[in-house]
Chain A
Amino acid sequence: MIELREITKEYGKKDKIVAVDNVSLRVEKGEIYGIVGYSGAGKSTLLRFINALERPTKGSVHVDGIDLLSLSNKALRKARQSIGMIFQGFYLVASKTVYDNVAFALLAAGVSKKHIEEKVDHLLNVVDLADQKRKYPSQLSGGQKQRVSIARALANDPKVLLCDEATSALDPNTTKSILSLLRNINKKLGITIVIITHEMEVVKEICHRCAVMREGRVVESGTTFDIFSNPKDELTKTFIQNVLEFHLPDSLIDQVQGKLVKLMFLRDLATDSVVSDMLQRFKVKGNILHGKVEYIQETPLGVFIMDVSGEEAEVNQAISYLEKRVNSVEVINDGTHYQALA
């Protein structure tokens, strides 16, 4: 659906800033694709290529088979009507009502007055704002404003929806409801969605696949589950940690008697049986200090921290047993220096 090929964007003449550095990206029809990175990584610039708000210095942009960079102004406007976009700052027209904000997108596409009315009412139903249609943006909450802007972006039945930090200005609950709205739009309308964000939570919630960006380059990409369960790049690991974070209180660490082991279970959660099997086979004590299960794209990813104590040989055997049964075992502390805990 979307194909960016070897795209580079440079700003400035003398002190050149390379905002995007030779990036290639493919987003398939009907998927939700996330692009994560810290501020200044080049995410917005990359996103803005997809509707040609930004023109690359080098490279090509194809959306739904159309080479955007070769289009005339008029043809580009037409193409943009099938690529919706929403922003962190909502960008609603303050002097227009909710209704007129949405109607504008239809007016811009040359839809007749009669059809506009029907369509706007339908769109406001989709985003659950039918009762707010005569209000002005200043009378709405952040979440409601984003809903209006989603309705506006969907006005001309786009094939693609671009989201530039669409939930970054919202509180966690509102973020959840906006994300579930986006997920519904993707499922019911089959719209391909590209989301850029600095929050891994957002990716975890709704993205099928994602890419991690740093300094204008994509450092890692793959399915969201693979990225979460097996991150390769340091930056990716940092981002993941924010979601799969665990902090053991010092008082608890002081009580650790044996080895501190981190177990990771992917896809199925046979934790109980694995742990109890281990406890039966070996003369060790196992004490679970921390457990967390995240559902990534409805697939479970469990992380458990265990204190395995007993005679050293037994403990080592128990751990190698665990290594055979679970997806990943990491001895994060061998019992001598506890302060190195993440």
Chain B
Amino acid sequence: MMEHIIKLLPELNVAFFETLIMVGIALLFAVIIGLPLGVILFITDRGLFLENKWVKQVVGIIINLIRSVPFIILLVFLLPVTSLLLGTTIGPMAASVSLSVAAIPFYARIVESAAREIDKGVIEAAVAAGASPWMIIRHIVLPEAKPGLITGLTITAISLIGYSAMAGTIGGGGIGDLAIRYGYYRYDDTVMFTTVILLIVIVQLVQYMGDFIAKTVDKK
């Protein structure tokens, strides 16, 4: 059995990095696009400093729309888009397109709810001090929500690891794909077992790191 695993190592290694790329790219987009969207959802809310019913509703509806589509359907639905963007629908880069589309609204909602935990009075004190919206976002909202934003990123990462297995099966590669190809189609229990263990270890590690960082930055 050990021999079997050692023989598998190069492939496992490749799969590991494929997963890393898929999840990493999707997380990057979650932060670049999902974070601002979440902040917009928060600051345009009633009684807040950029209250705007229209913006809030339009962004909210788009996010809900994407979130209500099951990932596996989103995956298929986005194949033409992926092909248009990258010229291919195969490989971890291609899979990261649909993963990103799923991760952005997911993280945006988490950002919104993390920001809502901030005491409204703290924001009001900043408004009363004559601070601009950008100043308040940068110096109050983001720092105050930081532990929640990090915890949210952990949750997003772990969900993405799960999704990446699905994305892997339709040509994305990665650990999940490996597990299904060997374990499911070829009845290779050892590979199946090894990959599942690997996934468990990765998820635990991500969770542990996320909790640790969130705790370190929390000054409450």
Interface residues of A (CB under 8 A from B): 51, 53, 76-81, 83-85, 87, 89, 91-96, 104-105, 107-109, 136-138, 149, 152-153, 155-156
Determine whether B7 belongs to the interface, using a CB cutoff of 8 Å to chain A: no
Q: How far is the CB of A155 from chain B (nearest CB, A)?
A: 8
Contact A93 B132 (CB under 8 A): no
Most buried by B among A80, A136, A156: A80
Determine whether B127 belongs to the interface, using a CB cutoff of 8 Å to chain A: yes
Q: How far is the CB of B117 from chain A (nearest CB, A)?
A: 11
18 contacts between A and B (CB under 8 A): A53-B127, A53-B128, A81-B129, A84-B129, A85-B125, A91-B122, A91-B125, A92-B122, A93-B126, A93-B139, A93-B144, A94-B220, A95-B219, A108-B130, A108-B131, A108-B135, A137-B219, A153-B129
Contact A108 B122 (CB under 8 A): no
Chain B residue numbers with a CB within 8 Å of A91 are 119, 121-122, 124-125
Determine whether B67 belongs to the interface, using a CB cutoff of 8 Å to chain A: no
Assign chain B's interface to a size class.
Answer: 20 to 34
Question: Which of A108, A153, A156 is B132 in contact with, Cβ under 8 Å?
Answer: A108
Closest-by-CB residue of A relative to B143 is: A95
Interface of B is mostly: helix
CA distance A81 to B143 in the complex (A): 22
Q: A77-B132, A104-B139 are in contact. Are A53 and B144 (CB under 8 A)?
A: no
Question: Which of B124, B127, B143 is A93 in contact with, Cβ under 8 Å?
Answer: B143
Interface residues of B (CB under 8 A from A): 119, 121-122, 124-132, 135, 139-140, 143-144, 146, 217, 219-220
Contact A149 B130 (CB under 8 A): no
Question: Which of A77, A83, A84, A149 is B131 in contact with, Cβ under 8 Å?
Answer: A77
Q: How far is the CB of B107 from chain A (nearest CB, A)?
A: 20
Chain B residue numbers with a CB within 8 Å of A76 are 130
Chain A residue numbers with a CB within 8 Å of B130 are 76-81, 108-109, 156
Most buried by B among A79, A92, A95, A155: A95
Chain A residue numbers with a CB within 8 Å of B219 are 94-96, 136-138
Q: A89-B121, A136-B219 are in contact. Are A108 and B128 (CB under 8 A)?
A: no
Q: A95-B217, A95-B219, A136-B219 are in contact. Are A108 and B126 (CB under 8 A)?
A: yes
